[in-house]
Amino acid sequence: DAGVTQSPTHLIKTRGQHVTLRCSPISGHKSVSWYQQVLGQGPQFIFQYYEKEERGRGNFPDRFSARQFPNYSSELNVNALLLGDSALYLCASSLDLAGAPSTDTQYFGPGTRLTVL
């Protein structure tokens, strides 16, 4: 079975540009979450989507936005890129709404490595 897939694997942008990152969840999973991992730190929560609606948002500026499509895939958009946005962006999918831990686990994709120059 295919796991969580993300594209692209690597991306180089310059300051001020816009970027779109894509995620396809595990088949049958309805919830997608996005995390940012900067070097030397643990992943930080950005967004969670469930059934195409935003269900959770982390402490990130409005330059970050996301959406979920009817097939449960998701896009993360970042506008007006800053050097500090350079990080590994991780997508995680779960069967249902994360928060029912006895029945649900978040499975992570390999991530997209974004470098902002």
- Closest to another protein by CB, 14 vs 87, is 87
Range 92-111, binding another protein (CB under 8 A): 92, 97-99, 101-102, 105-111
Site for another protein in 56-95 (CB under 8 A): 56, 58, 90, 92
In the complex, the smallest distance separating the C-beta of residue 67 from another protein, rounded to whole angstroms, is 17
- Interface pick for another protein out of 21, 29, 32, 35 (rule CB under 8 A): 35
* Closer CB to another protein, 70 or 101, in the complex: 101
Can you spell out the DSSP letters for the chain? ----EEE-SEEEE-TT--EEEEEEPPTT--EEEEEEE-TTS--EEEEEEETTEEEEE-S--TTEEEEE-TTS-EEEEE-S--GGG-EEEEEEEESS-TT-TTT---EE---EEEEE-
Nearer to another protein, 4 or 78 (CB): 4
Residue keyed to tokens 């499975």:
107
By C-beta, is 80 or 92 nearer to another protein?
Answer: 92
The footprint of another protein (CB under 8 A) covers 4, 33, 35, 40-45, 48, 55-56, 58, 90, 92, 97-99, 101-102, 105-111
